[in-house]
Amino acid sequence: MDASTTPPAIVKFDNVVKKFGDFVAVEKADFEIGQGEFMAIMGSSGCGKTTTLRMLAGLEDPTSGDIYLDGERVNGRATWDRDTPMVWQSLALFPFLTVQENVEFSLKMRGVGKAERAKRARKWLEKMQITEFADRGINQLSGGQRQRVALARALVTEPKILLLDEPLSALDAHLKVRMQAVLSNLQKDLGITFVYVTHSMSEAFAMADRVVIMSRGRIEQIGTPEEIYRAPYNRFVAEFLGSANIFDGVVGAATPGGHMVAYDGGEVDLPASELLDAKTGDKVTFMVGAENVDLAPTDAGQDGLAATVVGEEFLGATATVFLETDDGQELKVQKSHAELKAVKCHAGARLIAHWAPSACHVLPGEKG
């Protein structure tokens, strides 16, 4: 889907609140999901993402606010009357039925005749490339094969929208990547709306057209994966992405293109396009991505932050180096092994961390 276009909404959350007693699980969710869009709802455990999905499915009722499906308000409408099938984290397949019988089950519940059920089930078994397993029991299948059965069972009714609650969490890393490709291609081929809940940034960013990031029941940011990665709205989103170096600063003297911003250990000339309407004396918070920080030897004459290497995480072709400045600021730097070798990077080494002003992004949600 072209992220620059806005398809008509098939789902609308209108100031939806969900409380369990005094606990606010979802606070004023207000967003739309477009027809044919792959939307991921992401956040850590307890952030409200699964509760949001359950309200859309009809498994929970909003405490206040309204939910619309295809333009119709569905508050209080039963789950089976919404046509929003869900693929569960546990898959919830029936072990006492064969693969084909599992896929036929929802059609049987709708009163579809035996011959028609078999025909439609076979169609989806073929689409999911599991026809050869039609007569097997669920316990005879691998994790990936079970995933495909669960998808076939959910899609056999040909719904307009499919809900997925962390369906890949139990798979190993290699199989998870393969199933991401299956889901992404399936969604594009079918053109139906997928709403996908996950705690994994890699899953959400690999598949989704747009991502909703939640924290403590609140929506922190909605955008394309690229928008969120390159321009997080606030400190929570930047920290959640895991690759940001975050600095608190104060806007200083004006420059030809913007303002100097002083922060612990240095200052940087930030362009007016980043500072927007910030004025001298305002507090701002900015981030620099780990991949945009360079390292230099202390004797290279490079301006920047002097820091000590405290650890390194091997990431295959690259590595993330963790450093600490003399005043306790933690830094993350992601570079190739050749680049790290060139500056003699090792635990205990003293290096200069530096970056271009253009690598800085002011977090608008943190302006003081």
Query: Could you give the CA distance from residue 132 to residue 232 in angstroms, rounded to a whole number?
Result: 46
CATH T-level topology, domain 236-366 = OB fold (Dihydrolipoamide Acetyltransferase, E2P) (2.40.50)
Residue type, 132: E
Model's pTM, two decimal places? 0.89
**Residue-wise pLDDT tens digits, 80-135:** 889 899 998 877 899 999 999 999 998 998 899 999 999 999 999 999 999 999 99
**Residue-wise pLDDT tens digits, 165-190:** 998 887 788 888 888 998 999 999 99
Question: What residue spans in the chain does CATH classification 2.40.50.100 cover?
Answer: 236-366
- CA nearest neighbour of 99 among 133, 148, 123: 133
Domain covering 9-235 in this structure, CATH number: 3.40.50.300
Mean pLDDT, residues 41-54 taken together:
95
Question: What residue spans in the chain does CATH classification 3.40.50.300 cover?
Answer: 9-235
CA distances from 156 to 92, 159, 179 (A): 16, 8, 19
Tell the residue number behind the tokens 């967003």, with chain if given.
31
51: Cβ contacts below 8 Å, ≥ 6 apart: 18, 25, 26, 60
- CA nearest neighbour of 209 among 219, 192, 218: 192
Q: What are the two backbone dihedrals, phi and then psi, of residue 198, each rounded to the nearest 5 degrees?
A: -155, 160
